Amino acid sequence: MRTVLTILRMLCYVAFAVVGAATLVIAVTETFNLCPGFSANTGLSCGGAWYEGLANAAMGLVMLSLLSLVPAVLAIAGLIFAIVDLVRWRRRRAAAG
């Protein structure tokens, strides 16, 4: 049973990292207006820039997590696990120090 929980925790951490990185890529792309056009048929149009494929993949992952909710739920669980682990680590460190 413990190994199943460990596998689930690691899966949630991976989902948190992947969805978080994709969201960060989309946020940077939108903040600096690197890809001004989005079309449902073609995706992001960056004018032939080298990061167009990366931005399209990130946008696809973010849209998948918004529509299917499975990656988003796993990512939120990964965030919760990370917060709990950080609190445990800080308490252990304070008790030892």
pLDDT digit string (tens) for 17-56? 999 999 999 898 888 888 877 666 667 777 767 888 888 8
What is the share, in percent, of the chain residues with pLDDT greater than 90? 58
Distance CA 17, CA 77 (A): 12
Q: What share of the chain is helix, strand, coil (3-state, %, to 5)?
A: 75, 5, 20
Of the candidates 63, 31, 57, which has an alpha carbon nearest to the alpha carbon of residue 44? 57
What is the share, in percent, of the chain residues with pLDDT greater than 70? 91
- Output the pTM of the full model: 0.82
* pLDDT, mean over the chain: 89
Span 52-78, average pLDDT: 91
Asked if 75 and 6 touch (Cβ cutoff 8 Å), the reply is: no
Distance CA 52, CA 54 (A): 5
